[in-house]
Amino acid sequence: MKLYIIAGEASGDLHGSNLIKALKWQKPDLQCRVWGGELMQNAGGELVKHYRDLAFMGFVEVLKNLRTIFRNIAFCKKDILDFQPDALVLIDYPGFNLRIAKWAKKQGIKVVYYISPQIWAWHTSRVHSIRRDVDKMLVILPFEKDFYKKYEVEAEFVGHPLLDAVQQFREKEGNSSAAEVDVASRKLIVLLPGSRRQEVQRILPPMLEVTQDFPDYDFVVAAAASLPQEFYQPFLEKYPKVQWQQGQTYELLSQARVALIKSGTSTLETALFDVPEVVCYAGSPISYHIARRLVDIKYISLVNLIMDRPLVRELIQDELNRTNLKAALAEILTPEKAAEIREGYAALRKLLGDGGASERAAGEILTFLG
C-alpha cells in the first residue's frame, strides 16, 4: 500500500510523523511519500518538499508568492501521478490541500483529510468543496464533528494527537507528572513566537521588550527548527540575558513557570504541559484587517475556543505591546491566577478525550482503504 501525505507546517509535521508511525505499526510494508519535515522523514516517510518552503503567512504574503505557490501545486500534481498512491492523506494546510483534493478527486484518487481546516472559523463555504472532494474526514477537536454534521458531512472524531505527543515526551524524560516539580520555584519564562519568518518578525520584538521588566526571571526563546540561528541573532543582540534554544520546545515547556505563546497549535501544547500562558498574535496590517472581516470566532487560541471562554489572555495586533504584555505576564505569575488557569487546563484535557488519536486515525484510514 502507498500513501501520499501532505503537511505544510511544523504542527502538521509533528502530527504526520505520529500518524506514519501508527500506520507502519499496523502495516509495516506501507510506503509513504510526504510533504512535511524532518519528523515525518525520520518516521519513515520519503520527504519530497519541506514545509519551510511552503509557509506563507497572511493575505499579502500569499499574493507576493503566488508564482511559487502555483509552481508547488503543479509539481505536487505531477509527483502524485508518478507515485500512483492508493490514497492521498491531507493534514490541515487548507489553502494548498483543498486545491489538491479537488484535483485528486477528478483523477479518481481517494482523499482522506486528517485534521480539519478551521473552516468553522472562516470560509464556511469551503465545507461544500470538502463534501464534494474528501472521501474520509478525521477531526481532532470535539466540536468539529457536530459542525460537519450540520452540513451532512460524516466526520470521525479521533481525539487530539497532542495528548499522545506530550505524554510520550514526559514518559521519555521521566517526568510524567507536572506535580513532581515545584512550579512556584521555577524562574524560567518561555517565549514561543512561531515558526514562520513573517510571524516571528512581528511577534518576537514585543516579547523581548517585556523581558526587561522582569529581571528576576530567566527568559528563553524556543526557536523553530525550520529557521536558522542567523535569523534570530539581530533580534537577540539587544537582549544578552535572553537565551536561545532551537528545536527544544517540549524540554523548555516542561521546565517553564509561564510562557508567551504565538496563537496556534503551540497554545494547546503549552496547556497540556500545564503552563499558564499569554497568547500573542500580530499580522501585517492589511492581512489583519481582511481577516477581521472574514473570521467569525470569539477567540484566536485553541485553548479558549475549546473551552468556549477566555481562560487565557489574548493580545492581538495593536494590543500586543510591552505595556499589555507586562500586565498580562505579571498576572499569570501570581499563584492565584496560575491556579485558576491550571484548573481550566484540567477541564480542557477532559474535553479532548483519551489518548491514542494517531492510532485511531491510522486504523480509520486502513479500514477505509480495505
C-alpha separations of 183 from 124, 136, 207, 272, 369 in Å: 42, 43, 22, 15, 47
What pLDDT shows up at residue 258? 98
The residue among 145, 364, 357 whose CA lies nearest residue 272 is 357
Handedness of CA 121, 124, 130, 131 (dihedral sign): positive
pLDDT recorded at residue 145? 92
Cβ–Cβ under 8 Å, residues 22 and 40: no
> How high does pLDDT run on average in the chain?
90
pLDDT on residue 123: 67
pLDDT in tens, 289-313: 556 665 667 888 999 999 999 999 9
**What pLDDT digit, counting tens, does each position of 148-182 carry?**
999 999 999 999 999 988 988 988 877 544 444 46
- Distance separating alpha carbons of residues 334 and 359, to the nearest angstrom: 39
pTM of the model: 0.80
For residue 358, pLDDT beyond 50: yes
How remote is the C-alpha of 113 from its chain's centroid? 16
> What's residue 298's pLDDT?
83
Q: What is the chain's percent helix, strand, coil content, to nearest 5?
A: 55, 15, 30
pLDDT value at residue 195: 85
Determine the pLDDT at residue 61. 56
Q: Could you report the per-residue pLDDT of 181-229, keeping only the tens digit for each?
A: 467 778 999 999 998 888 899 999 999 999 999 999 999 999 988 788 8
Q: What is the mean pLDDT of residues 273-292?
A: 80
Among 368, 370, 364, 357, smallest CA distance to 16 is for 357
The SS3 of residue 355 is: coil
Give the span between the Cα atoms of 196 and 231, in whole angstroms: 11
pLDDT in tens, 6-44: 998 888 998 999 999 999 999 999 999 999 999 999 999
C-alpha dist (Å) from residue 161 to 11, 37, 55, 234, 253: 10, 17, 22, 35, 18
In Å, how far are 4, 66, 78, 138, 364 from 84, measured between CA atoms?
Answer: 9, 27, 10, 23, 21
Task: Return the pLDDT at 291.
Answer: 60
Look at the alpha carbons of 130, 355, 5, 250 in this order and tell me if their dihedral is positive or negative.
positive
- Calculate mean pLDDT across residues 255-283: 94
Fold topology of 165-352:
Rossmann fold (3.40.50)
pLDDT at res. 230: 92
CATH topology of domain 2-160+354-369: Rossmann fold (3.40.50)
Out of 58-62, 132-136, 147-151, 210-214, least confident range? 58-62
User: Mean pLDDT across the stretch 55-71?
Assistant: 64
What residues does CATH 3.40.50.2000 cover in the chain?
2-160+354-369, 165-352
Q: Are 356 and 287 a contacting pair, CB within 8 Å?
A: no
* Mean pLDDT calculated for residue range 305-325: 95
The length of the chain in residues reads 370
Q: Residue range 271-293: average pLDDT?
A: 80
